[in-house]
């Protein structure tokens, strides 16, 4: 079995895979060796792959290396795609793992990966496994927090999945309209742009807010093309270990 660890900007996700099957996944704000020992005692882990968007390593990472074989996911260990990114050393490992996952799950397909996390990333990989790049914009919660942080009078609000108006008629609904409709228009704009270039493609929603984004797009003309893969990054990291076994 494989232990997959993804250290993101906000959370650390830990998953257990039996070959391609996702058996278990948990999300943590903080991780220590006790957490990892729980996984190691509950499952027969024979290898681990670890990816981190952070530069500093925590003590538990070194401790883990003494217990099980660990592969550190890097741009050099990535496989399964052809990476044309002009500055590969600056490409986020989460974005790289996501497109690897998309290509692994849907081989021979054009895939637009939209990762709805702390940031919203849009990444395109074609049917031949060529990856050229994508786009990064502020995420859902980041937009709400920014309006409060950078102004003197706007309140701190959270996302509201029930909001379905085209405009606001008070400050709260005006903020919700700006943030949530703004994201919806951004999503449909990016999707339409790619669709105009390649009509036959999957739209893969991933990340913590992917269900919310799916709701934003449920009445759009793109809904039939949407596939929900909340654990796409984890599956991409696991795919790297599967490819290494070939």
Bridge partners (DSSP) of residue 25 are 15
Locate 103 and state its tokens.
Answer: 């290509």
> Cα–Cα distance between 115 and 118 in angstroms, integer?
9
Q: In what order do the strands lie in the sheet with 70-72?
A: 21-28, 12-18, 2-7, 47-52, 70-72
Whether residue 18 contacts residue 43, with contact meaning beta carbons closer than 8 Å, is answered with no
Residue 17 neighbours by CB under 8 Å, 6+ apart:
1, 2, 4, 23, 238
Helix/strand/coil for 108? coil
Q: Is 94 annotated as catalytic?
A: yes
Query: Among 6, 56, 94, 126, which one carries the catalytic annotation?
Result: 94
Measure the N-to-C terminal CA separation of the chain; round to a whole number of Å. 16
Q: How far is CA 166 from the centre of its chain?
A: 28
What count of residues does the chain have? 246
Give me the active site residues, please: 94
């Amino acid at each position: 079995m494989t232990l997959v660890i993804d250290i993101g900007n906000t959370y650390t996700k830990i998953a257990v895979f039996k070959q391609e099957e996702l058996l278990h996944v948990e999300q943590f704000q903080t991780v220590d060796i006790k957490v990892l020992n729980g996984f190691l005692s509950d499952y027969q882990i024979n290898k681990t792959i670890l990816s981190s968007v952070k530069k500093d390593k925590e003590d538990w990472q070194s401790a883990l290396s003494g217990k099980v074989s660990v592969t550190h996911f890097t741009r050099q260990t990535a496989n399964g795609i052809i990476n044309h990114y002009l500055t590969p050393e600056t490409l986020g490992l989460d974005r790289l793992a996501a497109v690897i996952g998309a290509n692994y799950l849907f081989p021979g397909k054009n895939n637009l990966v939209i990762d709805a996390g702390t940031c919203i990333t849009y990444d395109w990989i074609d049917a031949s496994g060529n990856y050229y790049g994508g786009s990064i914009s502020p995420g859902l919660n980041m937009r709400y927090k920014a309006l409060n942080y950078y102004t003197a009078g706007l309140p701190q609000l959270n996302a509201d999945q029930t909001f379905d108006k085209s405009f606001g008629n008070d400050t709260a609904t005006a903020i919700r309209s700006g943030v949530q409709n703004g994201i919806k228009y951004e999503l449909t704009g990016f999707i339409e742009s790619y669709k105009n270039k390649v009509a036959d493609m999957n739209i893969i929603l991933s990340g913590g807010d992917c269900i919310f984004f799916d709701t934003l797009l449920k009445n759009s003309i793109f809904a039939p093309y949407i596939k929900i893969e909340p654990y796409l990054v984890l599956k991409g990291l696991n795919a790297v270990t599967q490819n290494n076994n070939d």
